[in-house]
């Protein structure tokens, strides 16, 4: 069946509705596109914080709205509702929207944000690729976050991937080959690169013991990476201030527990050993640079996504 040539079974363009007035009124060709999706891995709530900062502080207009009913399995990822005393007062409906935004210096860009599709990945990918071609997107940059065995007392790291060497070299010095559970962002990156489109992705490293809590410093790092890649001035002051408050709280908790302090100290020792010199090993590597296999890494990610409720310093929990 895979060898039978065929057109898309359903028209990808029918998966979204366009703001025709905006298309007619604005020159949208050649802009940079930022992307982030909830539903895969949002350690430290990095994605939701980044999206909140962009949508709350920058001028934004919807350019394309995707038909979320065709993409989401509501029973596996039930939307949240608010019950107030004796009635339902709010329904947080899932959405997936392509926005036209303007940064702090008045520079326009595109931002695709919302729930990662549960269904129709191939059709959704074709729809996004069609929009990228139609708008002649210059660069696509996307971000997500992963729990890592790193201490909060060291700089936020990132694993960078894509086809723009100048955006990768010096950040991701360690190279290897692994199989991992994919996200829709990975699929889009793979297909964009196959078409020769400029694309870069950032996986922000969040201390694993803070993965279930909002960790603003990691969100700030994500905004900085995206802003640098797309030459944009993105808002981060509120998150920086929130990050300072969070780090004071973490310091108090660490100082109040000898056991937690020992864990952090061990992570610092491991981090410093792996960061010594220019040839950096992976923080996932064990002794003798032996790397976990695909099954082990996949199980670790899946265990994080399915982990139980826990306090910020007790270990990762479900976001």
Q: 115-132: per-residue pLDDT in tens? A: 999 999 999 999 999 999
* 130: exposed, middle or buried (Cβ count in 10 Å: 0-12, 13-18, 19+): middle
* 90: exposed, middle or buried (Cβ count in 10 Å: 0-12, 13-18, 19+): exposed
pLDDT tens for residues 194-214? 999 999 999 999 999 999 999
pLDDT score of 39: 85
For residue 156, give both structure tokens. Answer: 């936020």
Q: Kindly provide the b/e burial profile for residues 256-283, where b requires at least 16 CB atoms within 10 angstroms of the residue's own CB.
A: eeeebeeebeebeeebeebeeeeeebbb
Nearest-CA neighbor of 72 among 46, 37, 112, 34? 37
Please state the pTM of the whole predicted model.
Answer: 0.83
Report the sign of the C-alpha dihedral through residues 235, 46, 232, 167, in that order. positive
Question: CA 30, CA 44: separation in Å to the nearest integer?
Answer: 32
Q: Which residues pair with 35 in a beta bridge?
A: 112, 142
Nearest-CA neighbor of 150 among 43, 59, 222, 67? 43
Q: What is the pLDDT along the chain (319 residues), one digit of tens a residue?
A: 567 877 778 899 999 999 999 988 778 899 999 999 998 888 999 999 999 999 999 999 999 999 999 999 999 989 999 999 999 999 999 999 999 999 999 999 999 999 999 999 999 999 999 999 999 999 999 999 999 999 999 999 999 999 998 888 877 655 677 788 899 999 999 999 999 999 999 999 999 999 999 999 999 999 999 999 999 999 999 999 999 999 999 999 888 889 889 989 999 998 888 776 443 434 444 444 343 444 444 454 445 445 434 444 543 333 3
Question: CA 131, CA 128: separation in Å to the nearest integer?
Answer: 5
Residue pair 203/150 in contact by the 8 Å Cβ criterion: no
For residue 112, give both structure tokens. Answer: 């695709």
Question: CA 99, CA 35: separation in Å to the nearest integer?
Answer: 10
First to last CA, the chain: 39
pLDDT score of 236: 94
Question: CA 28, CA 37: separation in Å to the nearest integer?
Answer: 22
For residue 251, give both structure tokens. Answer: 């310091």
């Amino acid at each position: 069946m895979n060898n039978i040539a065929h057109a898309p079974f359903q028209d990808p363009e029918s998966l979204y509705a366009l703001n025709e007035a905006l298309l007619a009124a604005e020159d949208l060709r050649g802009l940079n596109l930022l992307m982030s999706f909830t539903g895969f891995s949002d350690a430290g709530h990095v994605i939701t914080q980044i999206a909140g900062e962009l949508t709350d502080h920058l001028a934004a207009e919807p350019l394309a709205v995707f038909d979320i009913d065709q993409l989401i399995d509501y029973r596996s990822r039930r939307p949240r509702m608010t019950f107030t005393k004796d009635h339902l007062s709010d329904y947080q409906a899932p959405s997936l929207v392509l926005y036209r935004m303007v940064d702090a210096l008045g520079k326009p860009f595109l931002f695709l944000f919302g729930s990662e599709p549960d269904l129709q990945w191939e059709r959704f990918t074709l729809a996004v690729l069609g929009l990228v071609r139609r708008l002649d997107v210059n660069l696509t940059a996307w971000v997500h976050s992963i729990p890592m065995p790193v201490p909060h007392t060291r700089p936020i790291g990132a694993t960078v991937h894509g086809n723009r060497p100048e955006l990768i070299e010096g950040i991701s010095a360690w190279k290897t080959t692994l199989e991992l559970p994919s996200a829709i962002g990975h699929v889009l990156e793979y297909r964009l690169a196959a078409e020769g489109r400029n694309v870069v992705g950032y996986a922000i490293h969040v201390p694993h013991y803070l993965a279930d809590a909002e960790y603003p410093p990691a969100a700030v790092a994500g905004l900085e990476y995206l802003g640098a890649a797309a030459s944009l001035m993105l808002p981060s002051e509120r998150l920086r201030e929130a990050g300072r408050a969070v780090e004071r709280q973490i310091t108090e908790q660490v100082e109040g527990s000898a056991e937690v302090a020992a864990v952090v100290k061990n992570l610092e020792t491991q981090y410093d050993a792996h960061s010594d010199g220019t040839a950096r090993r992976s923080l996932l590597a064990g002794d003798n640079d032996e790397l976990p296999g695909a099954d082990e890494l996949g199980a670790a990610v899946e265990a994080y996504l399915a982990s139980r409720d826990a306090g910020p310093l007790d270990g990762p929990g479900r976001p």
